[in-house]
Amino acid sequence: MNAPVVATTTSAAVSTERRQKVEEFAYQARHHALNMGEVQGQGYVGQALGSADMFAAVYADQLNYRAQDPEWEQRDRFLLSTGHYAIGHYAALAQAGIVPVQELDTYGSDDSRLPMSGMSTYTPGMEISGGSLGHGLPIAIGTALGLRHQGSSARVINFMSDGELDEGSTWEAVMGADHHGLGNLTVLVDINALQADGKTDTVLRTEPVADKWAASGWFVQRIDGNDAGALLAAFDAVAVEAKNAARPSVILCDTRIGRGVPLLEQREKAHFMRIEEHEWKICREQLTAGYEGEK
Ligand SMILES: Cc1ncc(C[n+]2csc(CCOP(=O)(O)OP(=O)(O)O)c2C)c(N)n1
Ligand SMILES: [Mg+2]
């Protein structure tokens, strides 16, 4: 069995400039998420805040894309498996210049290109439709195989949640990616330890999760998913691994739901948050104070 590799090279190995670019991107994306949340008064705001650093590392540092041409043939493919995280993805797409920032105000409204669950035919930059959990990774495997078959150097990054580790289709795909030696595939798992029905370990215990991926032949890292430096170091290790071996990589990201806004980090009912009218201003102020304080 392959021993799980836990990334220990955090910010020290990553330049300050690179890390700050990701942190700034994540900060702006969190504001976008709060703005979208306020349109509805409720929703998956906690997930968007919790995973903003992961989206930021992808869009500000890793992904090869053309903002004005989202279907550019040679683009890297970013697949959002977890449909309800669309709010976090839209925030990143806006910050990346793929979706106009003003359009975020339409989030979740009738006729909007930004529905509550990700839809590939609606939104530029949304490669697959979500909603039914556990399908992203199987699709990512088909995509990675197809790109390899075409001789493309584009890579596939699949984003999923810890709740999706309850799905049998996920584990079939984990084995399939190993079988096919998909070195062009990287998976990010947002381990916020929470699901719709409660804490992940009370719904279905998935730990020791790193060992399970490693036993299936993957290159495994487990990091603090709210640490931009750790995310970038992990992606750097994936790049080194891709040169040495043809096997898929997973970055298991421990995150905190609501991250960056203490008021929301403490919410008990965090899967689908109701935020009162007067609280939005407090959320923004807390977000900005935290970011300025950490700079
Ligand atoms: C196949 C499937 N089963 C069940 C659901 C219902 N469902 C919607 S969100 C969710 C929780 C999934 O866990 P996770 O994504 O980790 O939740 P979060 O961290 O966002 O609270 C479930 C079970 C679904 N969308 N698809
Ligand atoms: Mg979860």
Has residue 150 got a pLDDT over 60?
Answer: yes
User: What residues contact 165, with CB distance under 8 A and at least 6 apart?
Assistant: 189, 200, 204, 206, 209
Ligand 1 atom nearest to 192, measured from its CA: 19
pLDDT tens digits for range 193-236: 999 999 999 999 999 999 999 999 999 999 999 999 999 999 99
Mutate which of 80, 119, 161 for ligand 1? The one with the most ligand atoms within 8 Å of its CB, which is 161
pLDDT tens digits for range 13-66: 799 999 999 999 999 999 999 999 999 899 999 999 999 999 999 999 999 999
Per-residue confidence band for 295, with pLDDT thresholds at 50, 70 and 90:
confident
Domains contained in the chain, number: 1
Contact in structure between 125 and 91 (CB atoms under 8 Å): no
- What is d(CA 93, CA 101) in angstroms, rounded to the nearest whole number? 9
Has residue 7 got a pLDDT over 70?
Answer: no
86 touches ligand 1 (CB under 6 Å): no
Instruction: Quote the pLDDT of residue 4.
Output: 47
Mutate which of 89, 164, 195, 269 for ligand 1? The one with the most ligand atoms within 8 Å of its CB, which is 195
Please give the single-letter amino acid code of residue 99: V
Ligand 1 atom nearest to 44, measured from its CA: 20
CATH for 104: 3.40.50.970
Domain boundaries, position 108: 5-294
User: What residues contact 268, with CB distance under 8 A and at least 6 apart?
Assistant: none
47 touches ligand 1 (CB under 6 Å): yes
Instruction: Quote the pLDDT of residue 10.
Output: 56
- What is d(CA 201, CA 193) in angstroms, rounded to the nearest whole number? 7
Instruction: Quote the pLDDT of residue 258.
Output: 98
Per-residue confidence band for 2, with pLDDT thresholds at 50, 70 and 90:
very low
Instruction: Quote the pLDDT of residue 226.
Output: 98
- What is d(CA 42, CA 283) in angstroms, rounded to the nearest whole number? 13
Instruction: Quote the pLDDT of residue 177.
Output: 98
pTM above 0.85, yes or no: yes
133 touches ligand 1 (CB under 6 Å): yes
What order do you get walking across the sheet with 185-191 strand by strand? 77-80, 156-161, 185-191, 249-254, 219-224
Contact in structure between 147 and 77 (CB atoms under 8 Å): yes
pLDDT tens digits for range 255-264: 999 999 999 9
Please give the single-letter amino acid code of residue 247: R
User: What residues contact 96, with CB distance under 8 A and at least 6 apart?
Assistant: 59, 60, 65, 67, 125
Residue range 266-291: mean pLDDT, rounded: 95
Query: What is the Å distance from ligand 1's center to 219 Cα?
Result: 26
Please give the single-letter amino acid code of residue 86: A
CA torsion angle 34 201 177 72 (round to 10): 0
Mean pLDDT computed over every residue of the chain: 95
Query: What is the Å distance from ligand 2's center to 139 Cα?
Result: 20
84 touches ligand 1 (CB under 6 Å): yes
Query: What is the Å distance from ligand 2's center to 226 Cα?
Result: 14
Has residue 9 got a pLDDT over 60?
Answer: no
- What is d(CA 10, CA 12) in angstroms, rounded to the nearest whole number? 5
Nearest CA to ligand 1 atom 17: 195
Ligand 1 atom nearest to 47, measured from its CA: 20
- What is d(CA 155, CA 40) in angstroms, rounded to the nearest whole number? 35
Triad 281, 287, 289: Cα angle to 5°: 100
Q: In this prediction, what percent of the chain has a pLDDT beyond 70? A: 96
